[in-house]
Structures are given as C-alpha cells and as structure tokens.
Structure 1
Amino acid sequence: MRYEYRESAVGGQFIMTVGQADFTRYFFQEQDKKFNALIWNRGKSQQIVVDELAFEVPENTFIALNVSHSFRLERSEDAVIWQFNREFYCIITHDAEVSCSGLLFYGWRETYPIFLDEKLTRSFSLLVEVFRDEFETRDNIQGEMLRVLLKRLIIKLTRLVKEQSAVGQLNNPDLDTIRQFNLLVENNYKKIHQVQDYANLMFKSPKTLSNLFSKFSDKSPLQIIANRIFLESKRLILYTDLSASEIGYELGFEEPAHFSRFFKKMAGQTPSAFKKESMNLH
C-alpha cells in the first residue's frame, strides 16, 4: 500500500509504502526527485542495491539513506519505506528539533543497519499504524500531524544509532564536527574537492579531521569527498543524457580527462562502459 501527502504550494512530498511489491518500478520513474529515505526491512535478510552497490539488510533492521542515494530492494513487499523531500521537512533546518537528525542521515555510515529487539518492533509497528491513520485523515492540519510523526520516527532511530554504534562514544563537539563536515561536503562537493578547503571552512586543520574520522569511520575525509562525487557521477550517467564531458564539468573537473581518470579509478571502468553494463542489468 502506498500513502502520499503533497503540499502543492511549496512542493512538499511525504510518502510511506507498506508491503508494496512493485516499489522498485515506481522508484525508477521518480529519478528526478530527491528524497531522504528510512527503510524498515521487516522480513528476512535481503539485498539492497544502493547506487549500484549491493548490501545485505539483516532481518528486522532499519537503514537511513539521504537525498544523494538511489536504491532498490530485493523484496520491497517485506519493507516499510518512508520518503520525504526537503520541502516537506528539512532535517538541516530542524536539526535541533530532532536531536541530531544530521547524525542519522549525514553523520551515520550509510547502509549500516539499526537493529530492533522485540519491544522496539512492537513500538515501531504501532507507529506504522498511527502513520496509516494520519495519511487517511484529510483536514487542514494533516501536514503538521505527519511532520510530528516523522520527527518522532527520526528521534527514535537517532537514539538507537547512538546506542548501537561507536558514534555514541564521541562527545558532542566531535559529533558536531563530523556532521558539519558531511553537510559541507553534501552542499559543496561539485566545486570543492580538497580536504584542506573544507578544513579551512571549519577553521580546523586537515590533520584534526583525519584523526577524528579515523576513530569513528572506516573512510577518511578525502574518501568521503570522493565517494560523494562518485555517487553523483553515477546518478548523472545512469539517469540523464549528459555526456561524460558535461558530467565532469557539472562536478567541478576542469578537464574531461580528469573526470574520466577519476571515474575509472573509482569504478574500475570508463563512464561509457559503466552505463552500458548497468543498462544491460536492468
């Protein structure tokens, strides 16, 4: 079942799909739209493909994906999926309201599962039913009620991230640094490619950033920047008609050859070979 709420005046959109077997087909029709996503795999372990990389999602776990990701599920009928765009609820603007939402979507390592026990499973199942009721209630405060429920969902998951990961061992200044770096990358990756430049924006040294990320993440600051550029390059290759040269220019590469070398280093193949192979798979 698919539930949707739209705010036509501002372009806000909030979607919940529950047990929808054809979710993948719908998703690929919406590639021009950018959603944050919260995915609850309520069935057995299954595969999720995020930006053409496959991961296992264990039984009864959540994963959080931000607007930079595209994905498809092996068995979407076993999942509950919430998707919302910035116009419906901006997690950055409302960060204080949801207690480090930036941690869930931008400070947490993508595709790492959030595990539920029996008590939490009951709690989230009840929340799904409350969402159903509110999606079916049409009145002038429906949007605000749905935002309240979404904030509740984000807060509950953020608490679990802190409990279940090494990030819970970091102090608040370190958490803020991690989130600030990730958010700066998200907003500037098309024009800023060097750790030194991000460090300057944060009034920190590159060494400080590297040391902090080595405690928390399996990726260095430079790898985070490169991965974000790579994700966007794959999206543009797969879902637009832009040439490799145009994509390279869009992503801040001064010469087409520089982008081609970068992409081949990241993907192990040229942009054209990647696109051909991916199209054959679908």
Structure 2
Amino acid sequence: MALSNYFESNYKMFGYVRIDDAVLHNINTGLYKMYIQVLYLPKGYKLTIDFNDYTTEESTLFFVSNNQYIQILETGSEEAHFIYYNRDFYCIQIHDAEVACDGILFNNIYNMPMTRLSEGEAAMIDHVYTQLIDELTIKESSQEEMLRTYLKQLIIRATRIWKKQQLGRLNEEPAKEIDFFRDFSRLVEIHFKDKHTVADYADLLGLAPKTISARFNRLDLAAPNDIIKDRIILEAKRLLCYSPYSVKEIAYKLGYEDPAYFNRLFLNKTGDTPSNFKKKYLLGKNIQL
C-alpha cells in the first residue's frame, strides 16, 4: 500500500507518494499529467520520457514538466519516490531563474531530464526526502513554507549536480554564458510554434544570428537551428501520438501554413513521415528517433 501525503491550499498543490503498482499505473496513465513531477528512482528502473529511453544504473532523479509524457516500463527492487506539484505551489519563486519551474532541470539545450547521483549525493537527497516526508505529517501553519523550502533544496542540489554532469566545457564559462544558453532554451520553449529561425531568436536576444551560431559552435554544442527544429519535432510527436489532430492540423498548430513543407521537415528529422511515425508508435514498434 502506498504512503501518500499532500498539501493543498488556495489552488496550491504539493504531494508525495512512494511508488507501488497502483501509483505506477497512475503515473503511466497520466493521472499526474497536470503537475510538475520529480521521480527519485533507484537502480533497475526503465522509463521513457518524450520518446527517449532511460535506464537507472544508480539512484537517479528525473524532473518532468507537465507538458512531457512519461512511461515507467520496468521497476527495480528498491523503494522509489514520487513528488508532484503545480506552478501555483512553487513557481512564485520565478525570480530564482535557474531553479524555477522553467529552470535548467526542466528546460535545457540538452533535453536531458536525468540527474545521476553518487552514493554521497544520494545520501544528501535522502536526507531532504526524509525531512520533506516528516513535514507532510505535521499540520502546522508554516507547513507550506517548509515544504517549499525542502523542494527548493532538492532542486538546488540537483541543479548543481546536473550542471557538473551535463555542461562539460560550458561549466567552465562565466555564469553569463550559461545564462545565455538557458535564455535561448527558454525562448525556444515559449515561441517555437511561431518562431522557426535563428534570426527570430536573435531579434528577441538583441544579437546577430551569426553571433548566436558562433557561441554554440565555439563550445561544440548543437546548432541553434537544430535545437529549434528538434523542439518543433518533439511537439509534433506529442500531438501525433497523444492528440486527435490530423497531420494537417498539427502542421497549422506548429505555425506551418504548408503541410507538405512540415511533412518534409518531419521526414528529414526522423526518417519517417508523420503518419508512419504515428502508426508505428501506436502499434508499439521500435521507432528510430
């Protein structure tokens, strides 16, 4: 039987649950889809997030936005934890840009939601979870602020670890450079449906398109045009597999007046037409992503 506790007040929701078969079913069927989700999984779990497969080889944190799709395919033998919360609960902390609900764990140029933990790091995260779980059993007037404090601790610690693992050379750059790439990712997330070119984002950032491309190229990062197009294709995949819209309707929703052009873009990026991709996914076949 799952241990489940939650806080709810004035549209603010925060909840914690230990993962068992019932909770696993609820996660996989989208019961928590409206929430931002944090999964703390030990070794031996296999899952898919937005068409990408992950296997945990050690204790691992996953940070999943409410616009992402998650399926846990296999479970390990050790206990796993699941946190869910809405933007009203935490995203009032929007001034802390790097650790906000659109921060680097949820929105980054690497499209990487996974943070692996060493034994020492896992011990620190375990301590935060212990405090958080204890707080949920206390019905005090300050509970909301304490829960938010523990959640922020979790996000800050995970952000620091994630940056060491994922940023490579970028982690040696001045903070303003990291902020630049995060700002680019955030702007793509906001505008990808109507702004499709590097020039569009150069206008938003007050830079020349060549300057943006050069900054990515200097650190051997994916080309900014590829980042934009990959975000468009990801949304197309989500709509193809999880919505009733036709390919033509999806093209229009993603800002393409010419569905044939959208089809060519999708084929070029995935090796499949939108229709074939949807058919293969629904049939449960392996899809080359």
- Aligned residues of 1:92 and 1:102 also touching (Cα < 8 A): no
Aligned to 1:47: 46
In 2, Cα distance between the equivalents of 1:217 and 1:148? 36
In 2, Cα distance between the equivalents of 1:157 and 1:274? 34
In 2, Cα distance between the equivalents of 1:33 and 1:277? 23
In 2, Cα distance between the equivalents of 1:277 and 1:135? 43
- Of residues 101-110 and 195-204 in structure 1, the stretch that sits farther from structure 2 once superposed is 101-110
Aligned to 1:214: 217
Offset at 1:91? Answer: 7.7
Aligned to 2:82: 81
TM-score, with structure 2 as normaliser = 0.83
Q: Output aligned runs, 1:11-26, within 5 Å.
A: 12-26=12-26
Q: Deviations along 1:114-143, whole A, 9 cap, x unmatched? A: 332322222211222222222333344333
Matched residue of 1:204: which SS? coil
Q: Output aligned runs, 1:1-282, within 5 Å.
A: 1=2, 3=4, 5=6, 7=8, 9-10=10-11, 12-30=12-30, 33-44=33-44, 46-76=45-75, 78=78, 79-90=80-91, 93-95=94-96, 98=99, 102-107=103-108, 109-111=110-112, 113-164=114-165, 165-166=167-168, 167-216=170-219, 218-281=221-284
In 1, Cα distance between the equivalents of 2:31 and 2:283? 18
Change (3 A) 1:88 1:4: farther
Offset at 1:197? Answer: 0.6
- Of residues 212-221 and 237-246 in structure 1, the stretch that sits farther from structure 2 once superposed is 212-221
Offset at 1:43? Answer: 1.8
Offset at 1:226? Answer: 1.2
Change (3 A) 1:129 1:107: same
Matched residue of 2:90: which SS? coil
Matched residue of 1:281: which SS? coil
**Root mean square deviation, CA, Å:** 2.9
Change (3 A) 1:101 1:255: closer
In 1, Cα distance between the equivalents of 2:266 and 2:110? 22
Unaligned 5+ runs, structure 1: none
Unaligned 5+ runs, structure 2: none
In 1, Cα distance between the equivalents of 2:110 and 2:60? 15
- Aligned residues of 2:42 and 2:56 also touching (Cα < 8 A): no
- Aligned residues of 2:266 and 2:274 also touching (Cα < 8 A): yes
Change (3 A) 1:9 1:51: same
Task: Give the letter aligned to residue 153 of structure 1.
Answer: L
Offset at 1:267? Answer: 2.5
In 1, Cα distance between the equivalents of 2:145 and 2:30? 25
Offset at 1:175? Answer: 1.1
Change (3 A) 1:234 1:97: closer
